[in-house]
Amino acid sequence: MTEHQLYIQTRFRSEVLERLLRVVRHRGFRVCKMNMNQTGNGDNINIHLTVSSERPVNLLSSQLTKLADVNSVEILNQTSQQIRA
């Protein structure tokens, strides 16, 4: 499987994280690591997300960008890694 790192900036809403995770799951990706923090004014949040899948990450990125309250999605890098079950 290939791991992909995404940097996502969103407006702070209680439901935004649930929506993000639902899209990740529906698009066939698995969350490996996630780090989230609020900006200084508390109106926005920054999310660093590491996901894995055999699917191209641009499929996920384009869907995340369409979500309400998402300001930007940036693909940071991808690494190919053998994941054993």
pLDDT at 78: 63
pLDDT in tens, 24-79: 999 999 999 999 999 888 899 999 999 999 999 999 999 999 999 999 999 997 66
Distance CA 34, CA 11 (A): 17
Q: Given CA atoms 38, 53, 22, 60 in this order, what sign does their dihedral have?
A: positive
Tokens 């109106």, located at residue: 43
pLDDT at 32: 96
80 pLDDT tier (thresholds 50, 70, 90): low
pLDDT at 41: 85
The residue segments making up the domain with residue 29 are 2-78
- The better pLDDT of the pair 57, 1 is held by 57
pLDDT at 14: 85
Tally the domains of the chain: 1
**CATH number, position 64:** 3.30.70.260
Tokens matching residue 23: 């899209």
